[in-house]
């Protein structure tokens, strides 16, 4: 990796960490510059504006990480509900990067920026659409192989799981406790059992 690319990646990573903890609106370019220890000129060499950097965080950091975490588990599966449940358990209970007190980075970005910036809305919609469509495809395969009831509406299930995940992340943030995650996981398991 060239020095210029390394600097860009460093800015994106440190900015993501600051934004995840403090929020996008309240994180200033000056804070990002101080944390990354780059010059103001170096920052503006890589990003003309803060919003350009924010979009780069989504497109260059979040989407690739999202694919690894949220999409790849669905490759070569037998029971999609087991895969979805195990993924939710990992994200909510085992993942060390996503902190209960800060919620979900994608959800946070959506709440802060989707009403104000169409480019953020498009990028974040691409992110969630990929996950939703991956779940829909997996559920349809589960219906075909008989692990899921034939009359299950795959889109309804995917939207329910996705909105439940974002919602429970926000509840966890409010309560600053993983206890609510365990309640969600228990309910999710019961819901999936009713669809098998």
Could you report the per-residue pLDDT of 98-145, keeping only the tens digit for each? 888 888 888 887 877 777 778 888 888 888 898 999 999 999 999 999
Could you report the per-residue pLDDT of 38-53, keeping only the tens digit for each? 889 999 999 999 999 9
Exposed/middle/buried for 76, CB within 10 Å: 0-12, 13-18, 19+? Answer: exposed
Rg of the chain over Cα atoms, rounded to whole angstroms, equals 19
Q: Structure pTM?
A: 0.85
| Token digits of residue 36 | 């990354």
Q: What is the DSSP letter of 110?
A: H
Measured distance CA(57)–CA(45) in Å, rounded:
16
**At residue 97, does pLDDT exceed 90?**
no
């Amino acid at each position: 990796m060239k020095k210029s690319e390394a600097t860009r990646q460093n800015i994106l990573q440190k900015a993501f960490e600051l934004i995840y903890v403090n929020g996008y609106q309240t994180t200033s370019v000056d804070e990002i510059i101080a944390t990354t220890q780059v010059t103001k000129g170096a920052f503006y060499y890589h990003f003309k504006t803060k919003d350009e950097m924010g979009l780069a965080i989504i497109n260059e950091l979040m989407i690739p990480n999202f694919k690894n975490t949220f999409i790849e588990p669905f490759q070569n599966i037998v029971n999609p509900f087991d895969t979805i449940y195990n993924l939710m358990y990992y994200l909510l209970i085992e993942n060390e990067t996503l902190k209960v007190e800060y919620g979900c980075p994608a959800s946070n970005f959506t709440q802060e920026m989707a009403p104000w910036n169409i480019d953020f809305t498009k990028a974040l919609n691409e992110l969630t659409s990929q996950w939703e469509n991956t779940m829909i495809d997996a559920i349809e395969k589960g219906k075909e192989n008989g692990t899921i009831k034939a009359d299950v509406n795959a889109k309804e299930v995917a939207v329910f799981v996705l909105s439940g995940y974002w919602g429970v992340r926000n509840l966890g943030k409010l309560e600053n406790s993983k206890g609510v995650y365990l309640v969600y996981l228990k309910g999710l398991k019961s819901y999936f059992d009713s669809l098998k």
